[in-house]
């Protein structure tokens, strides 16, 4: 309770009631799954972008590796959510350890480029390795199980799975940003040299932020095949990383809640606009330009407008 | 956190919830079908023509009163040539729009991913262009049907002609994803079976911009024939570059049915001159049924038809099966489709083989002359379709290893 606050719990309670809304179709529950998953991953990235000042162009690799971890186990008959998530944590953790070790030793564009290069290597490996299905990936996966007999086989159950993930990820992020560790991250974002002069082991802190962000993203990736029944190399493409960054920008940097809204907004906007026009990315690009130019604090920046009006 | 932040969150939830719960307008006596294909990108042409052919079938059927007294309404979605968006859109079409038939996707990788969706949600699924060999073998399910000659069918028909008429030494160059790999595998298998020699194989990633790094190896292998398994804008770029390197004159060229659409040929008529492929349709085939069909299509859209005409047949078969079953129930329509024959398809009478739901299509070998695909030989469907292999691995024992001949 103290971690989340009653307002956050109220929002999660409302989200939990979503499947009960009259007229809620199975498709919209799956869309809600995508929206919350995308939002949760954008929030994980916000820990790095918004709080530490590090822009990662390689988060798709963490996401895709998590998805492949689940797919590889499921293909071999392991359907337990816990086993898949555990395996994903190990796989993504090992990869993130290597990436963060090298990338956090660099700043700015060099950090971004290193994360991108590592991600492209991973993408290429899975794209051309036939053991993991090559370009087709691993398809036709069975439904996951939470407990013996409790199968994640309906859109409603899948929705609650991703909601549980979002709740846990949000709680972890809240604890991190409220902690001393989180405050040091903000100090690094504001002035890395000063943080170093104050005696903080800056690379270690950056590496820690990178690991937490990567692991949360990897767990999100591990959940994705439980909804889609496949994992393909496309999940690791740099464009996917770009969409995570766009979601953070749309929602509002350094707010945690903003990227959740941004990710959900991006997913729903993409779904709706792409059903109307083929060139939907132009529309999404236009929205992004408007937000960057006129709402630099993202959708969550709207609260300032509301606050001012309320004060007036 | 400040109260206003949560106000924004609640507002977003309200908007999201509102958008999600807005019920689709339902009309009485309307049955929906889904068109899932690439509307942008490397396979854009195939997706757009799929839509046009389906539209033509829908309008013709509606003019005759629709199906079971229902007007057919078609809903089109873009698969973005990737599995993830294809699955999302397939779910939207099935779960939200309640389509009774789903035609698509275009790329083999996307179609195979969509097959899991149509299987799970018990929806009649028609494939009119994807040709990976797994769809009527290991990935097959009872609601899946296809009138696209898959890699095995194309290889069976084309390999003999190449060995007999074009040359025995062949280099396989393919687009390195499901479709190209499948075409390459099946063609290599078929060619080696009848005494041909593969002198080299290479794969280039989908959407490759510069193919020249592979040309050295091709020239070094010095084949008689260059077999090309590419499609869409990849094919356009490849042919332009092969031509500029003088390789379209140096080697005889052959390829898959969807290498390029008829509409693309005039622009690169010279590089494509002499290119041989096996296909079920050409706007320049003098066959009466095809000519009449093309005339109708051209009258409606102002352009010639192409191999995407298979999507037209998909709608016709489904409508005929629904009429026969007297219901749109997927299980009953599926049962009616098994073994069904339809007379007025784009190439005349065609029948569905019961065992693997593949339409047994008579096809032609075509050669490009002056930017037109002209028929040079006719092959009967029973000679190319191969035996049913549902549940069996179509690539068991296959290896890309090159067997050198002395």
- Chain A positions touching B120 (Cβ under 8 A) are 229
C-alpha distance from A105 to closest chain B C-alpha (Å):
33
- Does B39 lie at the interface with A, CB-CB under 8 angstroms? yes
* Cα B113 from Cα B135, distance rounded (Å): 10
Band of residue A70 on the pLDDT scale cut at 50, 70, 90: very high
Query: What percent of chain A is predicted at pLDDT more than 70?
Result: 97
CATH number for position B235: 3.40.50.2300
In a domain? residue B399 = no
Same domain, B247 and B112: no
pLDDT at B363 > cutoff 50? yes
CB contact under 8 A, A15 and B13: yes
Window A:32-91, CB contacts with B under 8 Å: 32, 34-35
Residue B391 counted as domain residue: no
- Omega of the bond prior to B344 within 30 degrees of 0, cis? no
Averaged pLDDT for residues B282-290: 95
Question: Based on the structure, what is the number of domains in chain B?
Answer: 2
Whether chain A has a CB inside 8 Å of the CB on B400: the answer is: no
DSSP A80-127: BHHHHHHHHHHHHHHHHHHHHHHHTTS-HHHHHHHHHHHHHHHHHHHH
Chain B: residue nearest A14 by CA? Answer: B13
pLDDT higher than 60, residue B349: yes
Instruction: Indicate yes or no: CB of A25 within 8 angstroms of CB of B77.
Output: no
Q: How far apart are the CA of B131 and the nearest CA of chain A, in angstroms?
A: 14
Full residue range of the structural domain in which residue A109 is found: 6-237
Partner-chain residue, chosen from B77, B91, B109, that has the shortest CB–CB distance to A136: B109
Query: Is residue A286 assigned to a domain?
Result: no
Residue B68 CB contacts under 8 Å (≥ 6 apart), including other chains: B31, B322, B323, B326, B327, B328
- Asked if B97 and B54 sit in the same domain, the reply is yes
Residues B234 and B373 in one domain: yes
Q: What is the pLDDT of residues A126-167, one digit of tens each?
A: 988 888 988 889 999 999 999 999 999 999 999 999 999 999
User: Closest residue of A to B140, CA-based?
Assistant: A140
Whether B199 and B240 map to the same domain: the answer is: yes
Q: Are residues B70 and B102 in the same domain?
A: yes
What's the pLDDT score for residue A106?
84
Name the least confident of B27-36, B55-64, B220-229.
Answer: B27-36
Of A134-138, B189-193, B360-364, give the lowest mean pLDDT range: A134-138
Residue B91, chain A, CB below 8 Å: the answer is yes
User: B386: phi > 0 → left, psi -120 to 50 → alpha, else beta; which?
Assistant: left
Please indicate, yes or no, whether residues B253 and B303 belong to a single structural domain of this protein: no
Do residue A234 and residue B1 have CB atoms under 8 angstroms apart? no
Q: Is B72 helix (H, G, I), strand (E, B) or coil?
A: strand
What pLDDT score was predicted for residue A280? 82
CA distance B109 to chain A (A): 5
Q: Measure in Å the smallest separation between the Cα of B348 and chain A Cα atoms.
A: 33
Choose the closest CB to B83 out of A31, A35, A137.
Answer: A137
* A289 within domain boundaries: no
pLDDT in the model for residue B206 = 83
Q: Which of residues 205 through 234 in chain A touch B, CB cutoff 8 A?
A: 228-230, 232, 234
What confidence tens digit (pLDDT) does each residue in A182-224 have? 999 999 999 999 999 999 999 999 999 999 999 999 999 999 9
- Domain tally, chain A: 1
> Which of B40, B116, B177 shows the shortest C-beta gap to A135?
B177
Q: Which of A5, A232, A306 sits opposite B1 (nearest CB)?
A: A5
**Cβ atoms of B259 and B235 closer than 8 Å:** yes
Residue B405: predicted pLDDT: 62
Quick check: is B398 in a domain?
no
Mean pLDDT of all residues in B121-150: 94
* Residue B370 Rama label (left phi>0; alpha psi -120 to 50; beta): left
Averaged confidence pLDDT in chain B? 91
Q: Are A18 and B17 an interchain contact pair (Cβ–Cβ within 8 Å)?
A: yes
The answer to whether residue B5 is domain-embedded is: no
Q: Are residues B241 and B376 in the same domain?
A: yes
Domain-located, residue A306 = no
Q: What are the distances in angstroms from CA A18 to CA A119, A160, A250, A300, B293?
A: 35, 10, 24, 22, 50
Mark yes or no for CB contact B178/A136 under 8 Å: yes
Task: Examine residue A81 and state whether it is found in any structural domain, yes or no.
Answer: yes
To the nearest whole Å, the CA of B23 is away from the closest chain A CA by: 7
My answer on whether B145 and B156 are in the same domain is no
Contact A23 B84 (CB under 8 A): no
pLDDT in tens, B64-108: 999 999 999 999 999 988 899 999 999 999 999 999 999 999 999
In chain A, residues 84-123 whose CB comes closer than 8 Å to chain B: none
Classify residue A165: in a domain, yes or no: yes
Residues 6+ apart with CB under 8 A from A274: A280, B77, B78, B85, B89
Does residue B232 sit in the same domain as residue B303? no
Q: What does the pLDDT look like over A10-68, one tens digit per residue?
A: 999 999 999 999 989 999 999 999 999 999 999 999 999 999 999 999 999 999 999 99
| Within-domain flag for A309 | no
The model's confidence at residue A105, banded by pLDDT at 50, 70 and 90, is confident
Specify the pLDDT at position A2: 63
| B364–chain A nearest CA distance, Å | 30
Q: Which domain holds residue B369?
A: 152-279+363-384
Neighbours of B217 (CB within 10 A): 13
What order of strands is seen across the sheet that includes strand B359-360?
Answer: B341-345, B348-352, B359-360
**Taking CB atoms and an 8 Å cutoff, what residues of chain A touch B19?**
268, 272
Chain B residues with CB inside 8 Å of A139's CB? 83, 112-113, 116, 139
Contact check, Cβ <8 Å, B16/A264: yes
If asked whether residues B355 and B371 sit together in one domain, one would say: no
Q: Does B341 touch chain A (CB under 8 A)?
A: no
For residues B230 and B104, state if they share a domain.
no
Instruction: Check residue B203 and give its pLDDT.
Output: 92
CA neighbor of B328 nearest in space, from B174, B124, B82, B186: B124
| Pairwise pLDDT comparison (B156 vs A312), residue with the higher score | B156
Look up tokens 């009309």; give the residue: B27
Task: Return the pLDDT at B15.
Answer: 46
B157 with B38, same domain: the answer is no
Q: Are A188 and A200 in contact (CB under 8 A)?
A: yes
Question: Count of A–B CB contacts within 8 Å?
Answer: 137
Query: Tokens representing A240?
Result: 């996917």
């Amino acid at each position: 309770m103290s971690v989340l606050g009653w307002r956050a719990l109220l929002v999660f309670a409302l989200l939990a009631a979503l499947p009960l809304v009259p007229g809620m179709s199975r498709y919209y529950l799956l869309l809600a799954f995508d929206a919350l998953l995308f939002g949760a991953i954008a929030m994980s990235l916000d820990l790095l972008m918004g709080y530490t000042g590090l822009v990662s162009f390689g988060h798709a690799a963490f996401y895709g590796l998590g998805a492949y971890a689940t797919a590889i186990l499921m293909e071999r008959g392991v359907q337990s959510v816990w086993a898949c998530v555990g395996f994903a944590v190990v796989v993504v953790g090992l990869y993130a350890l290597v990436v963060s070790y090298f990338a956090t030793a660099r700043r700015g564009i060099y950090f971004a480029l290193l994360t991108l290069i590592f991600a492209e290597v991973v993408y290429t490996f899975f794209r051309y390795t036939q053991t993991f299905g090559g370009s087709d990936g691993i398809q036709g996966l069975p439904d996951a199980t939470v407990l013996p007999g409790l199968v994640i086989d309906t859109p409603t159950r899948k929705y609650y799975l991703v909601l549980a993930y979002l709740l846990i990820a949000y709680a972890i992020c809240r604890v991190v940003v409220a902690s001393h560790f989180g405050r040091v991250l903000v100090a690094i974002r504001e002035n890395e040299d000063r943080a170093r002069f104050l005696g903080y082991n800056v690379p270690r802190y950056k590496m820690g932020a990178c690991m937490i962000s990567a692991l949360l993203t990897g767990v999100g990736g591990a959940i994705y095949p439980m909804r889609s029944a496949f994992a393909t190399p496309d999940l690791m493409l740099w464009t996917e990383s770009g969409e995570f960054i766009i979601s953070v920008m749309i929602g509002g940097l350094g707010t945690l809640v903003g990227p959740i809204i941004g990710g959900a907004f991006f997913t729903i906007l993409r779904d709706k606009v792409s059903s109307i026009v083929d060139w939907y990315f132009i529309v999404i690009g236009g929205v992004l330009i408007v937000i960057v130019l006129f709402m630099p604090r993202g959708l969550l920046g709207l609260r300032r407008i509301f606050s001012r009006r309320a004060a007036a | 956190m400040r109260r206003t932040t949560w106000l924004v969150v609640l507002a977003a939830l309200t908007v999201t919830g509102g958008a999600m719960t807005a019920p689709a307008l339902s009309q009485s006596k309307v049955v929906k079908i889904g068109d899932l294909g690439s509307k942008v990108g490397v396979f854009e042409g195939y997706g757009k023509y799929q839509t046009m052919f389906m539209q033509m079938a829908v309008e013709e059927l509606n003019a005759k009163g629709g199906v079971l007294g229902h007007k057919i309404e078609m809903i089109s979605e873009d698969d973005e040539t990737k599995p993830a968006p294809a699955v999302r859109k397939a779910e939207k079409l099935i779960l939200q729009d309640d389509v009774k038939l789903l035609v698509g996707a275009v790329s083999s990788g996307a179609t195979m991913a969509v097959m899991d969706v149509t299987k799970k949600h018990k929806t009649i699924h028609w494939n009119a262009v994807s040709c990976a060999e797994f769809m009527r073998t290991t990935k097959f399910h009872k609601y899946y049907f296809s009138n696209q000659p898959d890699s095995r069918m194309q290889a069976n028909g084309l390999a003999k002609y190449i060995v007999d008429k074009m040359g025995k030494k062949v280099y396989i160059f393919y687009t390195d994803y499901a479709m190209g790999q499948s075409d390459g595998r099946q063609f290599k298998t078929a060619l080696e079976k009848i005494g041909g020699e593969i002198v080299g194989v290479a794969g280039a990633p989908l959407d490759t911009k510069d193919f020249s790094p592979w040309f050295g190896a091709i020239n070094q292998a010095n084949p008689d024939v260059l077999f090309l398994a590419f499609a869409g804008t990849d094919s356009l770029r490849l042919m332009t570059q092969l031509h500029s390197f003088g390789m379209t004159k140096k080697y005889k060229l052959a390829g898959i049915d969807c290498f390029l659409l008829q509409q693309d040929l005039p622009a690169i008529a010279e590089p494509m001159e002499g290119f041989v492929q096996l296909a079920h349709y050409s706007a320049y085939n003098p066959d009466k049924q095809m000519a009449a069909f093309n005339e109708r299509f051209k009258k409606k859209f102002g352009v010639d038809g192409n191999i995407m005409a298979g999507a037209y047949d998909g709608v016709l078969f489904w409508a005929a099966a629904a009429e026969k079953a007297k219901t749109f129930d997927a299980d009953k329509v599926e049962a009616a489709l098994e073994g069904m024959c339809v007379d007025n398809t784009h190439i005349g009478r065609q029948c569905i083989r019961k065992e693997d739901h593949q339409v047994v299509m008579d096809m032609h070998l075509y050669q490009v002359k002056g930017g037109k695909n002209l028929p040079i030989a006719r092959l009967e469907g029973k000679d190319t379709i191969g035996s049913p292999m549902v549940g069996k691995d179509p690539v068991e024992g296959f290896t890309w290893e090159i067997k050198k001949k002395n």
